[in-house]
Amino acid sequence: MDKAIVSPIELYAGVTLANGDGAWIDAKTARPSSWAAFYASSANPLAYREPLEVNNVRCWDGGIGIKWPIWDICQNARPRPTDLLVLPNVPSVPR
């Protein structure tokens, strides 16, 4: 994570706020940590009793408030991204 923080790339985590709105958190400046932003972005309410706090705001999984986050990023981000890194929040299961 240290190398990502000092790199020139922009790094965001999609979260759902307590009011149900989706929001993007700048993971490089997130408090208490960048990891907190990523944990909150995958904090499914079925698995987490309470939302996680990032930047003094309570947050849940971004997939609730941001239905199609990749579409939103590709259409609305300025400048438009050249690359997207998508990480599954479910571990792979060998078949």
Residue-wise pLDDT tens digits, 12-71: 888 999 898 988 899 999 999 999 999 999 898 888 889 999 999 999 988 788 776 677
Pair 75, 31: CB distance under 8 Å: no
Structure confidence at residue 10 (pLDDT): 83
Mean pLDDT of 73-88: 73
d(CA 73, CA 87): 15
- Residue of 52, 38, 43, 47 whose CA lies nearest to 87: 38
Dig out the tokens for 92 from the structure: 């792979």
Amino acid in position 20? G
Structure confidence at residue 56 (pLDDT): 96
Structure confidence at residue 69 (pLDDT): 63
Amino acid in position 84? L
d(CA 25, CA 55): 9
d(CA 88, CA 5): 21
Structure confidence at residue 91 (pLDDT): 65
Structure confidence at residue 76 (pLDDT): 74
Structure confidence at residue 34 (pLDDT): 92
Structure confidence at residue 40 (pLDDT): 93
